[in-house]
Structure 1
């Protein structure tokens, strides 16, 4: 993936000659775009340009998936993280504006590629199907994230003129699922390879498309379709790593048996590393020195006490997921002091030695095999196949050092255990808030933290509402006017 990541900056520069605040508008009156689409490599580079947008966007995914939920909080209550945490985020916050723009940049790049490759000669564009599959996968991921964050959004599948962009309405979530997300993922599944080799490792695969489609079906409560799709993923050769902590050891290859799809980052390539190590480390000089972290740190993404309370003493995930200190070179545990200047707990999932600020090798795990096993168990259980579901949950528990749950468990009890296991296994990976919303638990769990009933989605950026200036086709989400 190093080759792919190193191309991102160049391709991004070439593809951003025209910027608009509403939806990215293709610069149809210039030759700049046309000259990019001649050879197979041109299309491959264009796909890399779509991946590049996700590097930027997923730097902030923890705001939506983690801080918004109950397992994580912004302990020091500062700026945007605090507003996301306590449900006071303004509809003109830069987080919302940048998120909207990033996803529509990715969508526009995908649309442009798909328009041009449709008539391309397959004899010349030798990887035509793969390029289409990757673009469709990435477009589907963009729309899936958009509807989970904002609800109804504009459905754009082709190049738009400036006038058309201002007349494009917000479409219902169900229409976006039916007409683009599911169709794109089904086609991507058919076109993508099962695996890659060498520098191509890290691109979207057939397994990634199937796993994401399974999550889409689960989100829509279409358990009848989720079950067979996720079952297919379990037959593709993926497996849990024997040692859970190896998932977070960045001296080892992140493309292992449990890997399905990450947002890829690479250390030492001039701005292609991730920000997670710096963002999530407490401002404690001795800790920063001990871990060898260059640059300033941000005290963000604090584990809440409710997360600590979820873990059994023998759970192998406990200390790395959430910690209130660190163990120094002599084996002595150094606790974090409760202070207004630094957070009192942190996750070690993204802690690794870095020599340049915000240049961490840590990827963001969009979907890994443990997630698939838990989703498959959930789908089976919701389809009344509780006994069949249990072994898939127990695979995750056993790897963590916990005793397997006994047979004879009820559907309701297993449902609760799956929720619990997702919290323990996937904390700080951007899942908890979206799990709360899709299972209908968000308001019940989060109202004591300031949530109101309409806050299952975020406000649409105010700038977009004002730009269209037509509430008939482009209203603000209810409650955020």
Structure 2
């Protein structure tokens, strides 16, 4: 996948050049692109165009999944990050507008591809694979949209500009039943279990099954979640023996624990990620030691509550949340307390970079540790606590902490939630875990959350464009 990343920029430019008009509610950027859909390679490139949108969108996923929760905060309280952290984000903030646009760009491109490939002839030799990838990405886009905004427009085909202004927000359940689950079931049937060569990194059968398992878990359909996640455990995935290797960007990222990432590549002219620069403190000696080019932004600070979760011997502790760095002599250099820089940071995205915002650090959408913990959760909710225990203990044993002996169902529920916090911190899970388990307001009200904040505001620009509250209302509490 990394070898074909440069095509993303080329294909995106081509789509833009073919566009006659852009609207914010449902971006139509494939109006006259039939010429693009002729050969198998055309369809492959079209899929790459959908992946490219996720590169842009997931550059901001930490706002939604991490800063919004209790384990991460915006220590310096500035701009959008501070407003997200304090539950004061305005409904016209650029974060919301760009998020809406990005997901509907991805959906529009996937829709266009799926419409055209459905009538493609036998010369499209990888028809199933292209279809499965587009369906997987469309399902991921809608899954993120409903988790962020709730009811959203339901669009599965190309529509006109006039139609887009009349498209209502549809109920979340309909979107789950008629698009997300349907797409993922079809995608898992069509996608290969693995790839070779430059195609490694594309969505696979395992990725579709794992995401579908998460969808079922989110909907509290624990029986289906158990079945689907169990299937993933039979596909050859395994935890890496050394947890730290997950964050060593000099090593192969497509390892046994890899299921699906939003991928970036250093040195390809704009295909790197922003995470290293965005999450590093403004400490001159640290920046020089790590070899980070460009300015850094002091965002995504680990909260004290996260530090307090870890046992001293936990191998995940110092990489997940740190108050300094260890220099070449083995000496620990603490971050000096200052109003100009945050006092702690995560090392999960630290990489040596020679150009600003050109990091090789990927965003791990779903990895095998997440699957094991979700599978344990589903088993436990289905009354199979003893079967869930070995899965939970696999995660703990790798982390170097003692496995649990016996747990009741209620204890297991709490321990799985705790383990997810320690294992998956800074990977965009905590806020969504709080919401899906019904714990968000209980945990977050002391940080300023109001009951309606389980959903984010619909971008005000979209409300204005449709200008019909009967079919397109704002979420409660944001008018």
Displacement after TM superposition at 1:337 (Å) = 1.2
- 375-384 or 323-332, larger mean C-alpha shift: 323-332
> Counterpart of 2:260 in 1: which secondary structure?
strand
TM-score, with normalisation over the residues of structure 2? 0.99
Change (3 A) 1:27 1:216: closer
Q: What pairs with 1:176-191 in structure 2 (closer than 5 Å)?
A: 176-191=175-190
Match of 2:24 in 1: 21
Displacement after TM superposition at 1:358 (Å) = 0.3
> Counterpart of 2:226 in 1: which secondary structure?
helix
Displacement after TM superposition at 1:435 (Å) = 0.1
- 1:51-73 deviation per Cα after TM superposition (whole angstroms, max 9, x unaligned): 00000000000000000000000
Match of 2:43 in 1: 43
> Counterpart of 1:366 in 2: which secondary structure?
strand
Match of 1:442 in 2: 440
Match of 1:352 in 2: 351
Task: Write the distance in 2 (CA, Å) between the matches of 1:309 and 1:290.
Answer: 27
Task: Write the distance in 2 (CA, Å) between the matches of 1:93 and 1:45.
Answer: 32
Displacement after TM superposition at 1:6 (Å) = 1.4
User: Are 1:58 and 2:58 matched, yes or no?
Assistant: yes
Give the conservation status (yes or no) of the 8 Å contact 1:26–1:112.
Answer: no
Match of 2:317 in 1: 318
Task: Write the distance in 2 (CA, Å) between the matches of 1:169 and 1:230.
Answer: 34
Task: Write the distance in 1 (CA, Å) between the matches of 2:15 and 2:433.
Answer: 35
Give the conservation status (yes or no) of the 8 Å contact 2:26–2:164.
Answer: yes
Displacement after TM superposition at 1:27 (Å) = 5.0
> Counterpart of 2:360 in 1: which secondary structure?
coil
Match of 1:175 in 2: 174
Task: Write the distance in 2 (CA, Å) between the matches of 1:3 and 1:251.
Answer: 16
Displacement after TM superposition at 1:26 (Å) = 5.2
Give the conservation status (yes or no) of the 8 Å contact 1:250–1:361.
Answer: yes
Task: Write the distance in 1 (CA, Å) between the matches of 2:46 and 2:30.
Answer: 15
Match of 1:412 in 2: 410
Give the conservation status (yes or no) of the 8 Å contact 1:68–1:85.
Answer: yes
Displacement after TM superposition at 1:2 (Å) = 2.2
Q: What pairs with 1:288-367 in structure 2 (closer than 5 Å)?
A: 288-367=287-366
Give the conservation status (yes or no) of the 8 Å contact 1:147–1:173.
Answer: yes
Task: Write the distance in 2 (CA, Å) between the matches of 1:26 and 1:406.
Answer: 56
- 1:222-272 deviation per Cα after TM superposition (whole angstroms, max 9, x unaligned): 001000000000000000000000000000011000000000100000000
Measured on the aligned residues, the alpha-carbon RMSD in Å equals 0.7
Change (3 A) 1:356 1:27: closer
Displacement after TM superposition at 1:20 (Å) = 1.6
Give the conservation status (yes or no) of the 8 Å contact 2:15–2:30.
Answer: no
Task: Write the distance in 2 (CA, Å) between the matches of 1:458 and 1:26.
Answer: 26
Q: What pairs with 1:229-268 in structure 2 (closer than 5 Å)?
A: 229-268=228-267
Give the conservation status (yes or no) of the 8 Å contact 1:207–1:233.
Answer: yes
- 1:30-86 deviation per Cα after TM superposition (whole angstroms, max 9, x unaligned): 4xx011000000000000000000000000000000000000000000000000000
Give the conservation status (yes or no) of the 8 Å contact 1:26–1:160.
Answer: no
Count residues in correspondence. Answer: 476
- 17-26 or 433-442, larger mean C-alpha shift: 17-26
Structure 2: stretches of 5+ with no match in the other structure: none
Give the conservation status (yes or no) of the 8 Å contact 1:108–1:159.
Answer: yes
Displacement after TM superposition at 1:3 (Å) = 2.3
Match of 2:191 in 1: 192
> Counterpart of 2:142 in 1: which secondary structure?
helix
Task: Write the distance in 2 (CA, Å) between the matches of 1:456 and 1:267.
Answer: 36
Displacement after TM superposition at 1:331 (Å) = 1.1
Give the conservation status (yes or no) of the 8 Å contact 1:80–1:89.
Answer: yes
